[in-house]
Amino acid sequence: MNLSRRQLLYLLPAAAAAWEFVLAGTPEAAPTYHSAEHWWGMLLDVTKCIGCGGCVRACALENDVPDGYFRTWVERYHVDDFHIESPVVDSPGGAKEGFPQSTLTGGKNFFVPKFCNHCVDSPCTQVCPVGATFHTADGVVLVDQNYCVGCRYCIQACPYGCRYFHPTKNVADKCTLCYHRIVKGLTTACCESCPTGARQLADLKDPKDPIHTFLKTHSVQVLKPHLATGAKNFYNGLDGSVR
Amino acid sequence: MEGFMYPNEVELQWSVLIVLYPFLTGLVAGAFILASLERIFRVEALKPTYRLALLTALAFLVVAPMPLQLHLGHPERSLEMYLTPHRSSAMAMFGFVYLWYLMAVLLMEIWLDYRKDIVILSRTATGLKRLFYKALALGSTNTSPTSLYVDDRVGWVITLIGIPSAFMLHGYVGFIFGSVKANPWWSTPLMPVVFLFSAMVSGIALVMLMYQLTSGLRERAVDMQCLDTIAKYLFYTFIIDFTLEMLDLIHRIYEADESFRSLDFMVHTKLFLSQIVLQIFLGTVAPLALLAVTQLVHLSINTRKRIYIVAGVCTLIGIFAMRWNVVIGGQLFSKSFLGYTTYKMGFVTREGLGPAIGLMILPFVILYVLIKLLPPWYKKLPAPDSAAD
Amino acid sequence: MVPLRDISHLLRMAAVFLVGLILFVVLRSAFLPKSFGKYGHYRGDALAEITGHPIAYAGHQTCEGCHSDVADSKAHGVHAQVNCESCHGPLDKHGNDPSSLRPEKLDVAHLCVRCHSENIAKPQGFPQVDAKGHSGGQLCESCHQPHSPEFTEGAKK
């Protein structure tokens, strides 16, 4: 292709702008955010969770989560002695109003917050027939509510039970890692409202993120590692009884 | 809800309509395989049911996507599965398997087998029907022996391709469930094979019943050699199906992995009626025993016919129950293996029992229309020589 | 060799299939969303739609921008890590236009209890009390200033 100098003069700035557009990912909403520079995960510290349910309420308010459905929830575990294969677990109303006093005494008791693990090899995106649920370049799994046909295959495929069918929009829905907040430099609503720092958003690509030190100095686990989903929620102090 | 379930698991996602869908596609695959036994494997005894089996397959194939459309949150967007199919999704790829099977296999095979009759009917029929047959003949009036020979050869090739296509059609449905690692009730490599053989069993049983029913309605004698042959194939296929299901069960019990205790409890309580009573005893053991008796002991024609009817009906109930146990059963237990929920099936709701019953009846209505338009009984039409060529 | 007229019906059927295929291609280009495939197997426009969702929680940095006095009193107490909106709820509207939304007075009786009511599942070191026995019916804020809640002898609001 033969380009005159004048043509090149017009073409180059247009090409540069287009390239910026491609890199930006979400140019309209966050012009300075470059998704390729981030890789999102979350650190959950079971030793700090007090089961207040603040995260559940905050998520519902931030994301208009319908009543009775949960983008995040907290589970309470009661483990008797060495019986780690049969814990007693409850999550009344997803712990949206916290927990009533435990009636079971003795044993080991703790809270576990749960939500979408934004898996790297997510089984949910694998099964979506139309491409309505997908990975972003920065490691967040999202649902395109205007494209989802509502077949609910993704809800069946998620091993963690973090997806639900929106009762009025008739599409699949789940935690978005508050994508609309994190691209603007804010943290997620659940992390913002967690009073003990049990939940902390982590940018695994940022060398200055405290998670890197934390991972070096603590024993962490992901949920259901045998399913090899590439989950990015790292749990500190996770007991073997947790399902 | 009993025990503990992840909060979003309490409500079932896939309803009775999703039970109906593999049941319908299974009948299609089974009926087609029976037809192909005659065409490819030259089982001459099955000739009287060849066309009936194909029309039955078509009637059920046409209805099969309807429960899916009723189930979708946005059926108006269902075209997306063809516009932007996600290649890693078994559900997306199934859309093309279905399309291939409907267009390139079943419709083509029916068209080629019936073409001579269609041309004759385009001359002898009147009014709107005449237009219909002319369109179906694509305006061609050629019934020369050469053209019929070509039809027969091409039809043979299509049937040959149709057998693995039918396997794919229902094997894929099995894979849709079998590939879900999150669900231990579904996740097994045996699932596509079990689905396929149970499909064959249900399809063969259906054609057996339809043959007896249509013969009865037409007040024609049943060709007992044909009927006995169908029953024989039903019996053999059933043995393979039963073996596969027992293999899955024994394997689960022996390995007893983390999900076993929860699933075992579910089968003995929530699925007791549908699995132990309906699927295993009424739906498998009883028909197998009845068919075994007909194979081993010499019985009169009327006795055999009655046994076949009972065995056929029990089989269909059993295979439906099997689909129910897979689909609904797979959603009754929690993926935490600590709890259970219940299926609240509506009646006059979009995904309720009412529409399910309606969709079960519809294929028979369509089949009736198909039989009227394309009679499967060979003696009805005048010979081609008597019509102007 | 088979004469053409004896396979013409097959050629007509093949033409029907071809027409169907062309129809599909035309339909696809008409209905396929323009931004599909831009970044991956999904509608590129979805990203903008998702990030355009309104924000409810302002984030503590926004609060501290105006309420630096509270931020200071909180910074050295045990509630230093408790963000403003954990208790005060989502207040982005207030952060953008303070006069448009006045944050409500908090229901202290239920608010403090939600975190601090005793429960054996809570971490051992976490301050938790049996609300009824602890204060004899008095409100928490009678003795504890929420922004800096350590109880010292004779401490009042």
| Statement: the pTM of the whole predicted model exceeds 0.90 | yes
CB-CB under 8 Å, C3 with B142: no
The type of residue at B327 is V
Domain co-membership, A111 together with A41: yes
Domain co-membership, A113 together with A43: yes
Domain co-membership, A130 together with A228: no
A114 at interface of B, judged by CB pairs closer than 8 A: yes
Domain co-membership, A106 together with A141: no
According to DSSP, the β-strands at A220-221 and A233-236 are antiparallel
CB-CB under 8 Å, A149 with B75: yes
Chain A residues whose beta carbon lies within 8 Å of the beta carbon of residue B72: 149-151
CB-CB under 8 Å, A150 with B13: no
B6 at interface of A, judged by CB pairs closer than 8 A: yes
In a domain, A16, yes or no: no
Shortest distance between the Cα of C18 and any Cα of chain A, in A, equals 25
In a domain, A210, yes or no: yes
CATH number for the domain spanning A143: value is 3.30.70.20
Shortest CA distance from B136: residue in chain C: C13
Low-confidence ranges of chain A (pLDDT < 50): 16-28
Say what the pLDDT of residue A3 is: 53
Q: Which of C9, C10, C18, C28 to mutate to test the interface with B (most CBs of B within 10 A)?
A: C9
Average pLDDT, chain B: 94
Domain co-membership, A200 together with A225: yes
Confidence of residue B388 (pLDDT cuts 50, 70, 90): very low
Shortest distance between the Cα of B239 and any Cα of chain A, in A, equals 31
When divided into structural domains, chain A yields a total of 2
User: What part of A 3-32 touches C (C-beta under 8 Å)?
Assistant: 25-30
Domain extent at residue A127: 123-173
Shortest distance between the Cα of C125 and any Cα of chain B, in A, equals 28
In a domain, A2, yes or no: no
B150 at interface of C, judged by CB pairs closer than 8 A: yes
In a domain, A111, yes or no: yes
Of A128, A164, A169, the CB nearest to B89: A128
Domain co-membership, A113 together with A127: no
Q: Assign 3-class secondary structure to chain A.
A: CCCCHHHHHHHHHHHHHHHHHHHHCCCCCCCCCCHHHCCEEEEEECCCCCCCCHHHHHHHHHHCCCCCCCCEEEEEEEECCCCCCCCEEECHHHHECECCCCCCCCCEEEEEEEECCCCCCCHHHHHCCCCCEEECCCCCEEECCCCCCCCCHHHHHCCCCCCEECCCCCCEECCCCCHHHHCCCCCCHHHHHCCCCCEEEEECCCCCCCHHHHHHHCCEECCCHHHCCCCCEEEECCCCCCC
CB-CB under 8 Å, A189 with C119: no
ipTM of the complex: 0.92
The type of residue at A66 is P
* Sign for the pseudo-dihedral over CA of C90, C94, C100, C105: positive
> How do residues A90-120 score in pLDDT, each as one tens digit?
999 999 999 998 888 899 999 999 999 999 9
In a domain, A26, yes or no: no
Domain co-membership, A231 together with A132: no
Confidence of residue B249 (pLDDT cuts 50, 70, 90): very high
Say what the pLDDT of residue A27 is: 40
In whole angstroms, what is the distance from residue A127 CA to residue B179 CA? 9
Domain co-membership, A154 together with A219: no
In a domain, A187, yes or no: yes
Domain co-membership, A58 together with A162: no
Domain co-membership, A103 together with A213: yes
Shortest distance between the Cα of B148 and any Cα of chain A, in A, equals 42
Confidence of residue C3 (pLDDT cuts 50, 70, 90): confident
Domain co-membership, A43 together with A100: yes
> How do residues B62-106 score in pLDDT, each as one tens digit?
999 999 999 999 999 999 999 999 999 999 999 999 999 999 999
Domain co-membership, A102 together with A156: no
In whole angstroms, what is the distance from residue B279 CA to residue B270 CA? 14
Say what the pLDDT of residue A32 is: 87
> How do residues C62-101 score in pLDDT, each as one tens digit?
999 999 999 999 998 999 999 999 999 999 999 999 999 8
